[in-house]
Amino acid sequence: MHNALKKMITKDLIGIKNLSAGDIETYLSAAYEMKALFSKTGKKSELFAGKNVSTLFFENSTRTRVSFEVAANYLGAHFSAMNASASSVSKGETLIDTGKNLDALRIDTVIMRHPMAGAAALLSKNVQASVINAGDGAAEHPTQALLDFFTIKEHLGSFKGKRVAICGDIKYSRVARSNIWGLQKLGASVTVCAPFTLLPCGIENFGVDIELNPVKAITKADVIMGLRVQLERQEKTLPSLAEYAKFFSITAERIQAAKATKAIIMHPGPVNRNVELSSEVIDCSSSTILPQVTNGVAVRMAVLNLTNEAKLNKGASK
C-alpha cells in the first residue's frame, strides 16, 4: 500500500512542518482504513498484539490521552499511562534518562506531551522507541492537525482552493502552527483572526492572511476553526475573555453577516463556550467538533501503525 510515499514516514512523528504533502496524505489514507476497521463493532485489530504503548504527559489532557489509549486498544496493544507529575521526573530525573528507562521497559511507542517546544524531538533522538508528539509547548501538535485534515477532507472532499479561517489564540497555539504548516502544503489558504496580542511575532512570514475583523476573516471561508484562548500559557491575558468574546467570538450573527453559513465549524477542544465560539455555533448542524474526536482515534491508530512500520523497516534494512 502506498509504497512510494510510505518511505518518507519515519519512526517518530514530531511535527507537520517537516512532512511533505505526500506524507500527510499517506497518514490520511491509512486513517481511512483504520476508521473503517473500528467502525465495525467489536472488530479489533491484532496489528499491535504484544506491543507496549505508553503515554508520558507533562501537561494536562483529557481527550488526546484517552484518544491514544482507545487507538492503542483497538490495535490490540498493551497500554500504560505514565503521569509525569507522579513519576521519577518529579524527583529530578532528566527527560533523556526517563526515555532510556522506557526503552529498558521495552516500550515500543512513547506518546509525549511536554510544555517545552522541542522536547519530543530531543526524546526521539535518544530512544529506540517511536516517539509521537502529543503537543510540545506552543510548537506543534501533529496528530491534532492530521485529524483536522482528515475531518476537512471527509466534509469538503479536497483542500485545493479551500479557505480555512483560524480564529482564536494563534500566538500560544500549537494546533494553529501545525494546521498552518499542513493546510498550506495541502493546497488550502489560511486566514488567521485574533487581536494583535494573540498573534505571534513574525506571523507575516507564515504565508497566511491576517484579519483583525472576525466577519471579514470568515467571509469566503469553507472552514471556521475556533481555538481556545490559552490562559495557562500567558503571563497576562490581553484582552480579557469578556473583551475577546465581545469583539472576536464567532457567533451566528457574524456567520450570517459574512454569508458563511455553508462553512463547517471546527475546534480541537476543550471549548470555552461563548468565548471563541458561541454556544449556538458549537451545537449547530455544521459543527464537526464531535466527529473530530471520533476521527482522532482513526488518525492515531494510523500514526501508531505507520511509525511502527517505519521503525521495523529501518531495522530490517540495517
Q: What are phi and psi of 45, to 5 degrees?
A: -90, 160
> Does 137 help bind ligand NCD (rule: CB under 6 A)?
no
For residue 141, state whether it binds ligand NCD (rule: CB under 6 A).
yes
C-beta closer to ligand NCD: residue 48 or 172: 172
Q: Is 146:303 a contact under the CB 8 Å cutoff?
A: yes
Strands 163-168 and 130-136 turn out to be unpaired
* 212: DSSP letter: S
Contacts of residue 279, defined as CB under 8 A and 6 or more positions apart, other chains included, come to 273
Spot the catalytic one: 41, 62, 91, 160: 91
CB of 146 to ligand NCD, least distance (A): 12
Contact call for residue 100 and ligand NCD (CB under 6 A): no
Q: Exactly one of 114, 141, 171, 311 is catalytic; which is it?
A: 141
* Active site (annotated) includes residue 163: no
- Inter-axis angle of helices 174-185 and 21-39, nearest 10: 110
For residues 2 to 41, the per-residue mask of contacts with ligand NCD, x marking binding by CB under 6 A and - elsewhere, is ----------------------------------------
The answer to whether 164 and 152 have CB atoms below 8 angstroms apart is: yes
Cell of residue 65, nine digits: 490521552
Told to judge if 11 belongs to the known catalytic residues of this protein, a careful annotator would answer: no
The strand pairing partners of 109, in sequence order, are: 53, 130
CB of 235 to ligand NCD, least distance (A): 17
Is 141 known to be catalytic?
A: yes
Whether the CB-CB separation of 164 and 221 falls below 8 Å is answered with yes
Q: Which of 54, 55, 144, 189 is close enough to bind ligand NCD by CB under 6 A?
A: 144
Nearer to ligand NCD, 5 or 241 (CB): 241
| Residue nearer to ligand NCD on the CB measure, 214 or 268 | 268
- Closest to ligand NCD by CB, 166 vs 258, is 166
Strand ranges, E, within 33-162? 52-57, 78-83, 109-114, 130-136
Name the minimum Å distance from CB 90 to ligand NCD: 21
Which one of 21, 22, 63, 257 is in contact with ligand NCD (CB under 6 A)?
63
**Closer to ligand NCD by Cβ: residue 99 or 268:** 268
Return d(Cα 106, Cα 54) in angstroms, integer.
Answer: 10
Residue 135 binding ligand NCD, by CB under 6 A: yes
**Residue 178 sits in the site that holds ligand NCD (CB under 6 A):** no
How far is Cα 33 from Cα 25, in angstroms, rounded to an integer? 13
78 labelled catalytic? no
- Specify whether 113 is catalytic: yes
Radius of gyration of the chain, Cα coordinates, nearest whole angstrom: 19
Nearest distance, CB of residue 230 and ligand NCD, angstroms = 6
Q: Does 175 bind ligand NCD (CB under 6 A)?
A: yes
Reported as half-sphere exposure (CB side, CA atoms, 13 A), residue 191 has a value of 21
Could you say whether residue 182 binds ligand NCD (CB under 6 A)?
Answer: no
Partners of 56 in beta bridges: 82, 112
Question: Is the distance from CB of 170 to CB of 176 less than 8 angstroms?
Answer: yes
Query: Which member of 52, 54, 64, 251 binds ligand NCD (CB under 6 A)?
Result: 64
Active site (catalytic) residues: 63-64, 91, 113, 141
Residues that bind ligand NCD (CB under 6 A): 63-64, 135, 141, 144, 174-175, 228, 230, 268-269
